[in-house]
Amino acid sequence: MNSRWLALSALALLVLFCPALLDISLPQLPMFAILAVAGLINAITWWRLRQAPDATPYELFSHLLIDVAALSALCFFSGGATNPLVSMLLPPVAIAALTLPVRCVVAVGGIALSAYSLLMIYYVPLPMPDATRATRLHLIGMWLTFAVSALMIAWVCRTHDAPDP
């Protein structure tokens, strides 16, 4: 649960500071609305888990789908598949693979792949008149996204029934 708050906070900071730091215009209102809905769902989940701490596999499945939907919506408003954050659709698939029944894993993977595919066609483009700068920012973003994805996946794999050495 804390990792979800961390992810939502990091995304909110990106939406807040990217326009000023990177000189990129973002449609912040719909992006903050998406983050607010995700935060509300996270708060409700936190409350629910205080009542009964065990989440069913299908509850986890629904939360992973919400994560995929929220990230896809954020990417829609920020360049679609050209946004390096689109690779953050992979950690929910990895989490599903480690924790859920096969049909749920296939569903999360298929929905994430479908979302990525749709984001190649449907998205709000980011105005970047300088192609060299756009390429440099994209490559840096891809590297950062890879690093964060790798750390998240390694952390999930390590904490999921990891045997002690």
pLDDT tens for 18-73 read 888 888 889 999 999 999 999 999 999 999 888 887 888 999 999 999 999 999 99
Quick one: pLDDT band at residue 161, thresholds 50, 70, 90?
low
- Whether 164 is covered by a domain: the verdict is no
* Structural domain boundaries enclosing 123: 2-159
Is residue 132 a contact partner of residue 30, using CB atoms and an 8 Å limit?
A: no
CA-CA distance, 149 to 157, in Å (whole number)? Answer: 12
| Helices vs. strands in the chain: H and E counts, helices first | 6, 0
Tokens of 157: 């794999």
Q: Structural domain tally of the chain?
A: 1
Whether 129 is in a domain gets the answer: yes
- Cβ-contact 145, 85 below 8 angstroms: yes
* Within a domain: 165: no
pTM: 0.86
